[in-house]
Structure 1
Amino acid sequence: MARNTGPVCRLCRRENMKLYLKGDRCYSDKCALERRSYPPGQHGQRRGKLSNYGLQLREKQKIKRIYGLQEKQYKNYFKEADRQKGVTGTNFLVLLERRLDNTVYRLGFANSRSQARQMVRHNHFLVNGRKVNIPSYLLQPGDVVAVREKSRQIGAITEALDAVPRRGVPAWLELDKEKFQGVFRSIPTREEMNLPVQEQLVVEFYSK
């Protein structure tokens, strides 16, 4: 699968908000957005007001970059959300939050979603006692995500767990640090997700 290999701090500056793509660096004074709070590029400081289409596009790009998805995969999630009953925008965010790599990050086993994706790919996690190495695997309520016994001494995982008190664990997840496992307790509500995004703009973008 294609992935972004360029400097990710530029993405935060482009969206004018912290996307937390670099783990601990995003919480320090080294954060690029703290140093230069304007879009990257030669004309970054002179960009004017966005049109309605521009606002919709920026919101689409923001969510795509937060979860580290490619365009085709992102659009497929939206189509699936549109087919489901309920509010399309909320369904869309729920699908993204149910991804295994996102859940690994949310539980605190990784410092960023890209790191979580790599760890899942490298077979460091079990779901309900079975090895799963597909980052896009969608979790169901009651599923247990655990670090494999052989992987519990990996420095990146222990360091990420030490940072859990700072980041916190969402209400729909339950972490047991001693057992190196967590439970996907329930489908999150829009209020619980507490994401600084306007998903309705994405719905409008794809409704054209």
Structure 2
Amino acid sequence: MDIRGSRCKYSRALGRKVDQKLEDKDPLSRRGPIRRRARKKSDYGLHLTEVQVCRMMYGIYERQFRNYFKKAKATGENTADVLLTSLERRLDNALYRSGMATTRRQARQMVTHRHIAVNGKPLDRPSYQLRVGDVIEVKGGKLAKPFYKTLQEELVDPNPGFWLQRDGKDGFKFKVDRLPNPDEAEQNFDPAYIVEFYSKYV
């Protein structure tokens, strides 16, 4: 599956929503009449589905996702937990979590278009791994754009104790207060199946 494809299409194919923005569209409730009985998935198919759901949610290509797994496994710690933490620490995901972007895909574009600075330095790498103390903000000159003026009206503070804390009055500056916990990730997938998939089949 190509991460650049239709989120609605992939949600229907996988049987789960891969983008929170699809809540209003609800592609899963718009299925046409069932023409044939769905085949029972093999063990491989079940594991692969979990991988694809996770990849589509975070917008990560297969090779990059596999590297995340390899690095997580090499730590000697709980592979699933380290994998989830690494995905949550991505810069594009942090923008989405903070409310500065409505979807991860939108957050990715904000980064690649160099609208975002970390610790005062512009970055164009959505995969950048954030550290405790990092400050994320929209570059000053970009705040005049209509997009950010509209988004500012919709911004809300993260939940108390969340790993990102607002660090400015305009709502477009956040600080990494701590590293994210694995249980704070949107687990619309089974991380244990993902670990098993790469351990067994890759």
When normalised by structure 2's length, the TM-score is: 0.86
> Which of 58, 61, 73 is the matching residue for 1:82?
73
- For the aligned residues, what is the CA RMSD? 2.5
Give unmatched runs, 5+ long, in structure 1: none
Kept after mapping to 2: 8 A contact 1:110/1:156: no
Q: Are residues 1:93 and 2:89 paired? A: no
Distance 1:131 1:58, change over 3 A: same
Kept after mapping to 1: 8 A contact 2:96/2:102: yes
CA distance in 2, matches of 1:147, 1:154: 11
Question: 5 Å matches for 1:61-72?
Answer: 61-72=52-63
Counterpart of 1:18 in structure 2 is 17
Kept after mapping to 2: 8 A contact 1:77/1:92: yes
Kept after mapping to 1: 8 A contact 2:92/2:107: yes
The Cα of 1:27 is off from its aligned counterpart by 3.2
Counterpart of 1:190 in structure 2 is 182
Counterpart of 1:32 in structure 2 is 27
CA distance in 2, matches of 1:79, 1:37: 40
Aligned residues with identical type, % of pairs = 36
The Cα of 1:138 is off from its aligned counterpart by 0.6
Please tell me the residue identity of whatever aligns with 2:125: I
Counterpart of 2:169 in structure 1 is 178
Kept after mapping to 1: 8 A contact 2:163/2:179: yes
Q: Are residues 1:207 and 2:202 paired? A: no
CA distance in 1, matches of 2:190, 2:184: 15
Kept after mapping to 2: 8 A contact 1:16/1:37: no
The Cα of 1:176 is off from its aligned counterpart by 4.4
Counterpart of 1:54 in structure 2 is 45
Give unmatched runs, 5+ long, in structure 2: none
CA distance in 1, matches of 2:105, 2:140: 22
Please tell me the residue identity of whatever aligns with 1:36: R
